[in-house]
Structure 1
């Protein structure tokens, strides 16, 4: 895993998806702790499900003075993503994919992308997403992977740096709140829990 150089990373430019203004990444954590979710692409079904999942924390994060931010590597699929309301935080575009490079988010190639996309973790999330009515498409850059970065207010330290190994990898909500040291009222989508006579979700 790449070591995070916050000083270098902080000067990378992102474009605000709403205002279209360019901002330095470091400005996002200047006055608040931030949870930054780096999507593979806006049309990705798994990314949309993960965005909806992490958005469950948005109210609790805001209460604790923490910002939830989404970053995509390109404009493709942005409008549909916004219209679908998959994500509750602010959205930015990393047009040069510089943050993706600096954070060690790998790129697949034509040979290894298909086995990765057909893996068990991806199939599990796709089935969850489909069950919740979240669909996706194949527009945009299919080879980019993503991850998550949580940075303490003022850029003092990195609380979590997560790099996808499989396109189906994501950070459980419990790991996010643990990294932040906060207690929240929501939980990750749970698998059914069964006793002898009843199953609950």
Structure 2
């Protein structure tokens, strides 16, 4: 049986979590698929768990590492009740080459050049988030692991940070992580999937 104090703490945590994402705004927004067609964000909030990985930009060395990590998580790929979606900020036509380079042709990848979905989901943005010693250190470590920086042309907004948002059915926020700097990725072991 849950104690009153524990129940209060859980409700407080849930309320703080819900305040990180503007779900009403998010449901009205659209993103683009690789053909440049608009897709309503609300269509993602279907009757299953949805894990949204926000990608800084499609050329980002850290984003490439994170996409590689997420795509290879077998437990997520094998769970039919969890859908993974990647959202970047570049031009729609860049998605196809990104899929090819990353070897994720079957991935659902969208883009939001307006950054409205990034904002509604509480993702960080700023030059200070990008240009700092933590970002430089992370970039050098990823280069040592064999990851490469991609093209900057039409790949997205470089000062935009990524993150992870997980919605449980039917669209209830269950997890939120916003990167503070390049290379700042969350520990997927804590995801509620």
Name the TM tier (shorter chain).
0.7 to 0.9
Deviations 1:12-67 (A, max 9, x none): 101122x533211121121321110001100000110011011122x422432211
Matched, 1:23 2:39: yes
Residue in structure 2 matching 1:98, options 100, 113, 116: 116
Q: Structure 1 unaligned runs (5+)?
A: 181-201
Tell me what 2:100 maps to.
83
Q: TM-score, normalised by structure 1?
A: 0.74
Contact 2:50 2:166 in 1 (8 A): yes
CA RMSD, 1 decimal: 2.4
CA distance in 2, matches of 1:74, 1:38: 12
Tell me which of 164, 167, 177 is aligned to 2:182: 167
Alignment map for 1:50-89 (pairs within 5 Å): 50-57=66-73, 59-64=74-79, 65-75=81-91, 77-85=94-102, 87=104, 89=107
- Runs of 4+ displaced beyond 6 Å: none
Partner of 2:143 in structure 1? Answer: 130
CA contact (8 A) 2:129 2:181 kept: no
Larger helix percent: 2
- Tell me if 1:11 matches 2:24: no
Aligned residues: 170
**Cα deviation 1:116-164 (Å, max 9, x = unaligned):** 3xx236524542x334432014614221112111001221x11111111
Output the CA distance in 2 between the equivalents of 1:21 and 1:31: 23
Contact 2:99 2:107 in 1 (8 A): no
Q: Residue 110 of structure 2: SS of its match in structure 1?
A: strand
SS in 1 for 2:175: strand
Q: 1:113 to 1:165 in 2, by over 3 A?
A: closer
The Cα shift of 1:86 comes to 5.3
Residue 103 of structure 1: how far off its partner (Å): 1.9
